[in-house]
Structure 1
Amino acid sequence: MTTERDRLAATVEAVFGCERNTAHGWHGAPLLRLLAHGEPVEVENLAEAYGRPVHEVRQALAEVPDIEYDEHGRIVGAGLTLRPTPHRFEINGHVLYTWCAMDTLIYPRLLAQPARVTSPCHATGTPIRLTVDDTGVTSADPVTAVVSLVTPDDLTSVRTAFCNHVHFFASSVTARPWLDRHSEAAVLPIAEAYDLGQRVAPPETTTPPS
């Protein structure tokens, strides 16, 4: 019998499991590492990081509707983004942002770098502050904070179908009115959400960005 936790795990696998891929990952680890430098990414540099021909990487990127570009055609967002969102993500001396709350819990492990996270409670606007590294969530304020997750059937646009519904809330009580309006969603405590993410995000073994 498939449980709610099984469905959540399957969705997280579908969204983040491609981190291990190369040119076909919608925000694979090589691209995340380049974005973590805090600068737009040239497609040629991305192709070099993947060890793939430029034309092949361009073709793969063209199949991903969520990738963000600047006016020069450089990549500025793919899960991790240079453009402000509610999820502020400070890593390696750079102030970046993520598309969703779950990203902030998974990327420190993928990038082998600790991060400071600041994001408002989606219901009240109260700031939620976390520190996260490759071992877990090392601090959380408030400690009652939770993460919302959804299990959409269509992930053609991951940002629209998944990320736009994955928020922080100050507590499960605070999240209740939102959950009442989103019957397909669930919330998990921060530590449980981190553990769920680590099933599909093995630690990065290459040199972290400097």
Structure 2
Amino acid sequence: MDTDTSRFITRVTEAVRTAPGVGFALLRPLLSLLVAGEPVTIAQLATAVGHSEDEIRTALADLPDTEYDAQGRIIGYGLTFNPTPHRYETRGRTFYTWCAMDTLVFPAILGESARVTSPCQATGEPVRLTATPDGPTDVEPATAVVSLVTPDHATSVRTSFCNQSHFFTSAKAAKNWLADHSDARVLPIAEAYDAGRPIMAELLAASPSRKCC
């Protein structure tokens, strides 16, 4: 990875880390509950992280992107039951993610692989891969890339980052999209996984018992 790309990834990492609505300490236990395939109650999440339900509600109030069902149960935060372009199949179930990078990062957080299918943002052609805790495999087409952005003023993690993280079948396919997004660049999928390693490490190290509430 060249120096310029390394600097770009450092900017991405810092921007994600400081974006409004990032809940590192809650994300891992919440993902572990969501991947079981049922909506997550506040009581379940409170038990998982060792805090009171009131403390969890207060913490979730700072995560405005969180998705709920009509009963007030959590159905999405990064990993979601609501359809998006990014199909994420694991444990014999179909989920979705908010962005392309989520599909690469979540297997390392959950410790299990997923089959990913997502359309190229430019052509609509499907990009397929197996996302494992140790990185992507079986990428089709092999030329596929992922877009990342470094916004100057992040609003929320989903709006500022996830909504701009797409798969493309190739860097050439992304050319027109990049022309309209001066704060973005694309990386081969294996490099995009490596770019996510600092975030993965922080998520794995985050302790909800100390930091979430």
Same fold by TM-score greater than 0.5: yes
Structure-2-length-normalised TM-score: 0.87
Cα distance, 1:155 vs. partner? Answer: 3.1
Partner residue in 1 for 2:54: 55
Structure 1 range deviating more: 154-163 or 83-92: 154-163
Partners of 1:65 and 1:33 in 2: CA distance:
20
Distance 1:168 1:24, change over 3 A: closer
RCO higher in 1 or 2 (8 Å CA, sep ≥ 6)?
Answer: 2
Cα distance, 1:17 vs. partner? Answer: 9.0
Partner residue in 1 for 2:173: 174
The one-letter code sitting in structure 2 at the alignment partner of 1:92 is R
Cα distance, 1:158 vs. partner? Answer: 0.8
Which aligned pairs between 1:154-169 and structure 2 lie closer than 5 A? 154-169=153-168
Distance 1:75 1:110, change over 3 A: same
Distance 1:117 1:27, change over 3 A: farther
Partners of 1:17 and 1:200 in 2: CA distance:
12
Partner residue in 2 for 1:195: 194
Which aligned pairs between 1:24-103 and structure 2 lie closer than 5 A? 24-25=23-24, 28-103=27-102
Partner residue in 2 for 1:12: 13
Partner of 1:85, secondary structure, is coil
Partners of 1:33 and 1:42 in 2: CA distance:
13
Partner of 1:28, secondary structure, is helix
Partners of 1:45 and 1:4 in 2: CA distance:
41
Distance 1:192 1:4, change over 3 A: closer
Partner residue in 2 for 1:105: 104
How many residues get paired? Answer: 200
Distance 1:27 1:164, change over 3 A: farther
CA contact (8 A) 1:123 1:178 kept: yes
Unaligned runs of 5+ in 2: 206-213
Partner of 2:138, secondary structure, is strand
Partners of 2:28 and 2:105 in 1: CA distance:
11
Partner of 1:102, secondary structure, is helix
The one-letter code sitting in structure 1 at the alignment partner of 2:80 is T
The one-letter code sitting in structure 2 at the alignment partner of 1:12 is T
Cα distance, 1:121 vs. partner? Answer: 0.2
Distance 1:155 1:17, change over 3 A: closer
- Tell me how large the CA RMSD over aligned residues is: 2.2
Cα distance, 1:10 vs. partner? Answer: 3.5
Partners of 2:131 and 2:87 in 1: CA distance:
13
1:150 aligns with 2:149: yes
Partner residue in 2 for 1:208: none
Distance 1:66 1:26, change over 3 A: farther
Task: Encode CA deviations 1:95-150: one digit per residue, 9 max, x unaligned.
Answer: 00000000000000110001100000000000000001111112100000000000
CA contact (8 A) 1:8 1:150 kept: no
Identity of aligned residues (%): 54
Partners of 2:105 and 2:189 in 1: CA distance:
12
CA contact (8 A) 1:16 1:201 kept: no
Partner of 1:174, secondary structure, is coil
The one-letter code sitting in structure 2 at the alignment partner of 1:135 is D
CA contact (8 A) 1:27 1:78 kept: no
Partners of 1:171 and 1:46 in 2: CA distance:
40
Unaligned runs of 5+ in 1: 206-210
